[in-house]
Structure 1
Amino acid sequence: MCSLGEIAMEWKKYLEKNSILLMLFGALAAVIGLAIAGGGIAYADKASFCSSCHSMKQVAATWQASNHRQFTCGDCHLPQQNIVEKMIVKNQTGIHDTYHEFLRDYPDTIRLSAKGRTIVEQNCLRCHAHTVANTFMSAGGQSCTKCHRGMIHGQVVVKEGIGVE
């Protein structure tokens, strides 16, 4: 069993000048690491990042022509309830998209998965709750994308003289 004096001597070791410098360096490294991670997360949420893949160029062009162009891809396509869930889904979809981009096997028309559709629906209702509050949509179980499917990515865009559906 350690005596009180021995415990005090151990603490003195940790509070020496070199130990304090190491703790400050560790804290600084943690802050810099969090800033870099936060910057990377913010960059990966932008349309410029999402549209950097060949298969997303058409999707980005139709989004840019929509009334929702002020929102990021993540605002609609990622859960917004908490950061942990958002990062898990971002990683899952990022790995999926990178895999299919690498194989170049994306279909001509990209469709939402069932999970993706649920996330988009939740985000529609999150932003437009006031709009649907006194309609049949407020009862739940309805689909925003059933009627408004082409609102964001289904518009015809003219880019370099070519009509894109």
Structure 2
Amino acid sequence: MKKILNRIGGWLARRNPFLLIGITVVATIVGVAGGSAAMDYTMTEAFCTSCHEMRNNVYAEYGGSIHDTNRTGVRAICPDCHVPREPVDKWIRKVKAVGELYQHFVVGKIDTKEKFREHRAELATNVWTRMKETDSRECRHCHTATKMSSDLQTETAQARHEKGREEGLTCIDCHFGIAHNEPKGITPADIVVKQKL
């Protein structure tokens, strides 16, 4: 394949170097636009729920949760909580997700409700670990601690938030099981990680 491309490139360069430059520019634009369109599509709720594993398990649990339906009408969809917004981190997460797709679709690790339940704690641990490593970065895109009004919080919530700050806790340490059912036998407090941020 490399030889063929080299021959074509050499032939084009001998004929008209501007043609080679033009083809390269067009191919780059098409590649970037196509990659961007693919990235945008994979960040939609429709894409996230296109497989029955997600639609019938975690998405079914998400329905009616505070992140789906609430008094303000603001919704957090799958990528809001599970995919970074920063471009490099987003691409890294998407590349890692390809490995997860292999486990889900080729190996069939969670292709039935029973298998999903069996692996729920492992799956939750993976997500919670990522969230703890980034100091709940995805939560903080919508929930800004400096903009929270402690006056509107209960005394218990104020005390717990203060204690959490003192102990260096992150959002997911206390706020889990909000959009999905909790796995049995483990919580984010059981996971010890070195935070990256």
TM over 0.5: yes
Q: Are the aligned partners of 2:84 and 2:93 in contact in 1 as well (CA < 8 Å)?
A: yes
Q: Which runs of 5+ in 2 are unaligned?
A: 1-12, 69-74, 111-115, 151-157, 183-197
| 1:86, distance to aligned residue in structure 2 (A) | 1.6
* Runs of 4+ residues deviating >4 angstroms: 132-135, 137-140
In structure 2, what is the equivalent of residue 63 of structure 1?
Answer: 62
- Distance change in 2, residues 1:51/1:17 (3 Å): same
Looking at structure 1, the residues matched to 23 and 81 of structure 2 have their Cα atoms a distance apart, in angstroms, of 39
Q: Which runs of 5+ in 1 are unaligned?
A: 1-13, 156-165
Task: Note the 1:126-137 alignment, pairs <5 A.
Answer: 126-129=141-144, 130-131=147-148, 135-136=161-162, 137=164
Task: Note the 1:72-91 alignment, pairs <5 A.
Answer: 72-80=77-85, 82-91=86-95
Task: Report which of the two structures shows the higher radius of gyration computed on alpha carbons.
Answer: 1
Q: TM-score, normalised by structure 2?
A: 0.57
- Distance change in 2, residues 1:132/1:149 (3 Å): farther
Q: Are the aligned partners of 1:76 and 1:123 in contact in 2 as well (CA < 8 Å)?
A: yes
**Count of paired positions:** 140
| 1:45, distance to aligned residue in structure 2 (A) | 1.7
Looking at structure 1, the residues matched to 59 and 135 of structure 2 have their Cα atoms a distance apart, in angstroms, of 16
Q: TM-score, normalised by structure 1?
A: 0.66
- Distance change in 2, residues 1:120/1:47 (3 Å): farther
Percent identity over the alignment? 26
| 1:24, distance to aligned residue in structure 2 (A) | 2.0
- Distance change in 2, residues 1:40/1:64 (3 Å): farther
* CA-atom RMSD in angstroms: 3.1
Looking at structure 1, the residues matched to 179 and 32 of structure 2 have their Cα atoms a distance apart, in angstroms, of 33
